[in-house]
Amino acid sequence: MLCARFLSEQYMPELPEVETTIGFLNKRIINRRIKDVWTDSAKIIKKPADFKIFKREIKNKKIERIWRKGKNIIFNLSEGKILLIHQKLTGHLLVGYWILDNGYWKPKSRGFLGEKVNTYIHLLFTLDNGLMLGLSDLRKFAKVLLVSKDEFENLKDLRELGPEPLDKTFSFEKFKERFENKKAAKGEPRQRRGKIKQVLMDQTVIAGIGNIYSDEILWEAKIHPLENVKMLDNGKLRKIYKAMQKILKKGIELRGESFSDYRMPNGEKGGFDKYRKVYRRKGEKCSRCGALIEKIKTGGRSAHFCPLCQKL
């Protein structure tokens, strides 16, 4: 059984976690052929809706390329097929060897870090060398699609995804443009509205930032999460831009966060925890000024910040 703490924590793979995951998958399962697929929760497969068809179409396909777009993990398969997995809240991809035991997957031999049975593996691929790729997902919110190249290019949410925050071409000028209204009226440069926290998390503005990293970025930039983006001058925007790059790079360098049940595909935890300054630290002292971290709710999500460092 997974230890209780593992299960109790929320897990939110954002850009650094997804980046870590694809790096790992590229080392372990590239050029492997999918020989079989199992599920006990066909609902997470959105396309094709019929699992029998999904199974037939993915069988014997070779995994040729693994990359990501925002938080979406994309597997380019042979014969032009594309497998897309969005882990949402509690999904994570694991690579290893398991045996089906009473409906649950039990790791063969030692397995992962004290884990005996993973009751949350809901989708599992067996590869041509016997290695397995499992999608573990406590909440079953994950989304899986198997599509053709054409279908892939026409997926609405992927088409509307904003730029990659760490792309070399994503300059400060480009970042600034993301805060301007798409269709600026003749004359006045109308700006995007809303609170900075929600705008940063809007995948159509910038791809890959979620609840954890948006809190951390705003703490780093000393900007209040509820600050309206209209109020952000050049200086503040630059601070956010710099903080975004720093925090996301740190996340990748440390291979993702680790306080929740996020694990790399080999079951190890990431190391971002030491750098987590505000997220889920309500009531703790701000490491910069000593004030107590506060937690508020905005747009249906929690936001953590230091009331002294991040003034409205």
- Residues with a catalytic annotation lie at 13-14, 71, 301
The values of phi and psi at residue 138, to 5°, are: -55, -50
DSSP symbols for 10-34? -----HHHHHHHHHHHHHHSTT-BE
Question: Which segments of 55-97 are extended strands (E)?
Answer: 63-69, 72-77, 81-86, 91-96
CA distance 304 to 225: 8
| CA–CA distances in Å: residue 222 to residues 13, 58, 177, 244, 306 | 24, 48, 21, 12, 8
Applying CB under 7 A, the residues found at the interface with DNA are 4, 7-8, 10, 12, 43, 70-71, 86, 88-90, 119, 138-141, 156-157, 181-182, 193-194, 201, 203, 210-212, 280, 297, 299-302
Say which residues have a Cβ less than 8 Å from residue 228's Cβ, sequence separation at least 6. Answer: 193, 194, 195, 196
CB of 51 to DNA, least distance (A): 15
Sign, CA dihedral 185-157-72-60, equals negative
Catalogue the long-range contacts made by 115-120 (C-beta closer than 8 Å, 24 or more residues apart): 115/1, 115/2, 115/267, 116/1, 117/1, 118/2, 118/94, 120/90
Q: 287-301 b/e with 16+ CB inside 10 Å = b?
A: eeeeeebbeeeeeee
Greatest Cα pair distance in the chain: 68
Contact (CB, 8 A) for 15 and 253: no
